[in-house]
Amino acid sequence: MNKLLCTCCAALLLCGCSFHAAGQSIIRRYFEYILLDTTSAAQPKFIAYPTVAYAPETSFEFGVSSVLVYRAKKDTNNRLSEVSSFAFITLENQFGGYIDHALYTHRDRFFLLGQIKFQNFPLSYYGIGPEATSSVKATIAATEFRFRERALFKIVPSLYTGPEVDLELMRNVRFDLSEPEGFEFPMGSGGFTDLSLGWGVVYDNRHNVLNVRKGLFAELAWLSSQPTWGSTFSFHSLFSDLRVYRPIGEKNVLAFQAYGQFTEGTVPFNQLALMGGERLMRGYYLGRYRDKQMIASQAEFRMLPLPFSKRWGLSAFAGLGQVAPDLNGFRIDRVQWSAGVGPRFLLFPKKDIYTRFDVAFTSEGYGLYFFIGEAF
């Protein structure tokens, strides 16, 4: 289902006149802190803001998002690290939250990249395979905990390697079926534990992960899940991710990403390659298409900022992707597309960080996304 996510900050600003003087002063100082960005480039910057969302399976959702950006030892020669978080609760008593991070230590000796997520939240399930129906086959109610971390150390400048771990616990799983007759329950439908261990190699010379103007990111990682160390199923996954950023003129950027996930073995439904979401193949619900193999790519042209503005920008993007049961299952006629456009606002001028509001279209509909930082 499409979900509209929007900030309440503007609403608070419009309603500020009804507050007493002290409240007005607090709100005014907060907006000045955000919009004026008076801190130096070396100082950390933190912002928190309320969000409201709506989807039929959740009713209204209320949450709080935050982002912290900083440089190790406040040294502007170090790369910009970021920690973002989101917590929510819905009128249907569903709740959850996550913390994403990309952290660089002093002189980039270590690079920590990962996510922690917990949610008691419905998932729309369309089936498995490139020809999955466009209607929701089931709504999956479950309690999910996921932890993925890459702990990488520098070999030579910009080249890192190190262990990776992916832990997922899926509990209290319940499938609410729209058409029970003939439904095939996927692997892991009774709940599962997955602990995947592996190793990765990353080349990364980006200086600002939230808004890359020039650079290259490349990752190749292999993970294995085995009952020997506590996993319910046995399977292996290979991940590849290539991102290229090229400046066009003084202010514009052309960005490109190619992503692949290739899995073999007995794979639970939520460890399959999931197409969609707010980052890659925007416009599709995350998991609209899922299978053991996936390849996808996207390109984006960013005008940051626009020629006639100091703080407003614009991006246009397009993507192609597909899933398949095996490497021989990829076919031209199964390729899915997405495309869209979205304004940008320069939130932290001294750190060159924008907010994005994307409208993405697909052959099946559209999606709306609001986040701090670019999609990739």
9 band by pLDDT with thresholds 50, 70 and 90: very low
Taking all residues of the chain, what is their mean pLDDT, rounded to a whole number?
90
Q: What is the token pair recorded at 317? A: 């993007």
Model's pTM, two decimal places? Answer: 0.88
Lowest-confidence pick of 37-41, 144-148, 219-223? 37-41
pLDDT in tens, 278-290: 999 999 999 999 9
For residue 268, the 8-state DSSP code is: -
d(CA 59, CA 56): 5
The residues spanned by each domain of the chain are 4-372
Q: What is the pLDDT of residue 18?
A: 43
Q: What is the pLDDT of residue 23?
A: 58
DSSP 297-343: EEEEEEESS-TT-SSEEEEEEEEEEEEESSGGG--GGG-EEEEEEEE
d(CA 339, CA 282): 8
The CATH number of 4-372 is 2.40.160.50
Q: Report the DSSP pairing between strands 235-248 and 159-177.
A: unpaired
7-16, 133-142, 252-261: which is most confident: 252-261
Query: Is the pLDDT confidence value at 2 over 60?
Result: no
29 band by pLDDT with thresholds 50, 70 and 90: low
**Residue (of 242, 345, 232, 245) closest to 295 by Cα position:** 242
Q: What is the pLDDT of residue 55?
A: 72
Q: What is the mean pLDDT of residues 103-109?
A: 95
Q: What is the mean pLDDT of residues 189-195?
A: 97
Q: What is the token pair recorded at 51? A: 């969000």
Query: Is the pLDDT confidence value at 252 over 90?
Result: yes
Q: What is the pLDDT of residue 30?
A: 59
Task: Return the bridge partners of 189, or none.
Answer: none
Query: Is the pLDDT confidence value at 128 over 80?
Result: yes
Lowest-confidence pick of 153-157, 300-304, 366-370? 366-370
- Which backbone phi and psi does 192 adopt, to 5 degrees? -165, 165
92 band by pLDDT with thresholds 50, 70 and 90: confident
Q: Is there a contact between 291 and 187 (Cβ–Cβ < 8 Å)? A: no
